[in-house]
Amino acid sequence: MKINTLIVDDEPLARDRVRRFLRDEDEIQIIGECGNGREAVRAIKEQRPDLVFLDIQMPEKNGFEVVKALDEKAMPAVIFVTAYDQYAIQAFDVHALDYLLKPFNRERLHKAVEHARSQIETKRIGQLDERLASLIKDLKTEKKYLERLVVKSVGRVFFLKVDDIDYIEAAGNYVKLHAGRESHMIRETMNGIEAKLDPDKFFRIHRSTVVNIDRIKELHPMFSGDYAVILRNGTELALSRNYRERLLELFENQV
């Protein structure tokens, strides 16, 4: 039995790691890879894979949003991949769903594949699996987004309200929080901070930039066909083509 498999992760190195480890799994047949959630939803609907390795923290749509966008009756077996979401890990254990915690090794991936193979065989004899739907329902109910951040700056420690942030940019192993005339550095990844922020309030416009939606004044078209995001304080930020369509849709829905 061949297991048609899709790999979904926004990091090329992470996709490569999964692909290399899967070479030892004789029944696995990789049919494609995706770098963001929107691509993943489209690929799953069109290609109907048996198994999906699905990263949680991704641009466009995160892993949970991908699952919610799919038809439960045609849901593939899913192995979630995560770096640090402790609540998600607890939820996976409760619902007996498999996950890979980065960085994982070849043996851990093999165990996940064996679990998925059993799930796939069960589905093919007509038994329904409602665990994914139950997981998403629980996550949606319990998910709480950050309201404030602890910032250490010049010998002092203070709380910064998330709503006061204008935009966030990547800075190596840190992110830089811009709030009014001040900026603060905290140790965090862009994917990490994005996953903790309310997606109804914060929007990723570039691989290295997340913006408070309420601070956006306008989108300014450029000669090349690209856009610049102009904030209310006059700051001009680059809008990556990977995020342009979704941001334009957001603006259209507000009209």
Domains within the chain, CATH numbers bracketed: 3-142 (3.40.50.2300), 148-254 (2.40.50.1020)
**Among candidates 44, 37, 97, which has minimal Cα distance to 71?**
44
Which stretches within the chain are classed as H helix?
Answer: 12-22, 37-47, 63-68, 86-94, 106-124, 131-142, 190-196, 241-254
Show pLDDT as tens, one digit a residue, over the chain (255 residues): 789 999 999 889 999 999 999 998 989 999 999 998 889 999 999 999 999 999 988 876 788 888 878 876 667 888 988 876 565 566 566 555 678 888 889 999 999 898 888 878 776 544 445 666 666 666 555 557 888 888 887 778 889 999 999 999 999 889 999 999 999 999 888 888 888 888 888 989 998 999 999 999 988 887 766 788 999 999 999 888 777 777 777 666 554
Model-level pTM?
0.56
Amino acid at 179: A
Contact (CB, 8 A) for 75 and 131 = no
Which helix (DSSP H) or strand (DSSP E) does residue 127 occupy?
none
The reply to whether omega before 103 is within 30° of 0 (cis) is yes
- What is the biggest distance separating any 2 CA atoms in the chain, rounded to whole angstroms? 63
Say how many Å lie between the first and final Cα of the chain, rounded.
51
